[in-house]
Amino acid sequence: MTKEFFNKFAQSVHAKLVASGGTFTERPENPSQVFKAHDYLEHARTPMMEGAGELGILWQRARIPKLVNWLMLNVFVKAFQGYAVHQFKYDRSA
């Protein structure tokens, strides 16, 4: 997030979160470890590209020209490689 973006869009939200007691720290190397350290278990992990494909928001429904599809796919694969949505549930037995 750039300083300009923060000042224009996020500063008011940030101020409200701080006023309600929120704190901000640097993102850990592996964010899922934060949940696991507090007795949450990971129940699902969906790679972003797989999720997008399952929702049908990729190429077929958008009717994007094949050349643009190919270029976008290469960008997405490189940019989002390794990104995923994780689902955690609290483990009450711990």
Each residue's pLDDT tens digit, 57-68: 655 666 777 777
Instruction: Name the average pLDDT for the chain.
Output: 78
pTM given for the model: 0.45
Q: What is the pLDDT of residue 16?
A: 92
Instruction: Examine the pLDDT at 14 and tell me if it is beyond 60.
Output: yes
Q: Quick one: pLDDT at residue 82?
A: 66
The dihedral region occupied by 17, where left means phi > 0, alpha psi between -120 and 50, and beta the remainder, is alpha
Q: Is the pLDDT of residue 20 over 90?
A: yes
Residue 31: strand, helix, or coil: coil
Burial (Cβ within 10 Å: 0-12, 13-18, ≥19) of residue 69: middle
Task: Return the pLDDT at 19.
Answer: 93
pLDDT at 26 over 90: no
